Amino acid sequence: MASADPRPAAVTPPVTTPAAPTTPASSTSPASSTSTTGAPAPASSPATAPTTATSTPATAIPFFGINEHYNYGGIYTSVPLGTQAATLADLGMTGDRQDIHTAGQIDAIADTAMPGLGSKITVIPMIDAYPWDDPSLNGATPTEASAYAYAYTMAAYAATKLKGVPVVEFGNEYDLDGHNGPIASDGENVSDYDNTYWAVWRGALRGDEDGWRSVDTGHVTKIIANATSGWLHFGFLDGLMTGTQPDGSTGHPKITPDIIQWHWYSDGGDFENAYGVSGTYNVLARLKASYNLPIMFTEIGVDPDFTTAQAQAYIAQTIPELFAAKATYNVVGFNWYELYDDPTGTYGLLTSSTAKKPIYTSMKSAIAGSH
């Protein structure tokens, strides 16, 4: 289910790093009700105030969207941004999820990609303040406190540059990160996960939330911050939402996202009737029953080993199912993975030479029929 997600070397964000948070609550402490436990003061402004991508109120979250990778270069920079926007318009898509891993990449999205795509395309930033990229550690292992501070700084800077976006996502597939041990069963329980770096991921996501909200005090932008690869990994979400760790300890700080994010690929089958080793699940029903928050599929796509006919059938089934889930499960949107084939794989609706695949037409028809 994981998408390839290369992480370029970080640059130091151009804001002052906030003070490290206080020591997280122990297993005997009362459960934290918000993600502001030990929150530092808001980060200082840069000497020169950054320009913002927009100062207007957030628009509605686009339901139909795509994944793109402007910051990775290649076809996503060689094809003019106006051409990419026109392709999305032809498909009936208005959402555009963009990966961000450094302060410089925040600038690139705000100053170049967003203006280039134009006002009819809504960029959905996915900001990954990856804890091991923190330059202040000088190669040392991150802690919950260091991860929190590093993420807080980057998120606060992003909030100044990306002001007014309707939704921002933090972190990408932390449950599958190579620093973790193997996941047991289907990942449906908190105890299925490795405890070693659990607090580091929690610190990063809490810092993301608090850093953004230190700038966006009016909560104009909705926050996604559970960083799961989806599938049946309910335990990863549950532990972060309830302040529980895989070792069974409780009372830890919690994440407090506005929207639950999920990933799904075709080899998982139907997300409303998914077969795992631990049982059969309606993923949307499980998420709604547990947290009753809006749900967004920030990655959903067809695996490259599917035949063209299989891929077309999957799209024809899945897009209407997602649209129907707006009413039933409060699904607020999806971002298809992805627009062009690139080094991460042949997931695109178009080839790496911009030729339309048969699934391009399938997607366009499915979206047109879902309104």
pLDDT given for residue 59 in this prediction: 72
Does residue 175 sit within a domain? yes
Does residue 277 sit within a domain? yes
Domain housing 177: 64-368
Does residue 23 sit within a domain? no
Cβ partners under 8 Å of residue 73, min gap 6: none
Cβ atoms of 257 and 225 within 8 Å: the answer is: yes
Does residue 2 sit within a domain? no
Counting as low any pLDDT under 50, the low residues of the chain are 1-56
Cβ partners under 8 Å of residue 279, min gap 6: none
Q: Which residues is 263 bridged to in the sheet?
A: 299
pLDDT for 263-293, tens place per residue?
999 999 999 999 999 999 999 999 999 999 9
Nearest partner of 230 among 149, 181, 180, 171, judged by Cα: 171
The domain spanning residue 117 has which CATH number? 3.20.20.80
Does residue 105 sit within a domain? yes
Cβ partners under 8 Å of residue 152, min gap 6: 18, 39, 40, 43, 207, 208, 210, 211, 214
pLDDT given for residue 57 in this prediction: 52
- CA dist., res. 232 & res. 253, Å (int): 23
Cβ atoms of 183 and 226 within 8 Å: the answer is: no
Cβ atoms of 65 and 169 within 8 Å: the answer is: no
pLDDT given for residue 371 in this prediction: 81
**Helical segments of the chain, H only:** 75-78, 81-91, 103-108, 114-117, 144-161, 198-215, 234-242, 283-291, 308-329, 358-368
Domain count across the chain: 1
Coil, strand or helix at 297: strand
Cβ partners under 8 Å of residue 76, min gap 6: 68, 69, 70, 84, 339, 340, 342
Does residue 220 sit within a domain? yes
For residue 224, which phi and psi values (nearest 5 degrees)?
-110, 125
Does residue 33 sit within a domain? no
pLDDT for 196-228, tens place per residue?
999 999 999 999 999 999 999 999 999 999 999
Does residue 47 sit within a domain? no
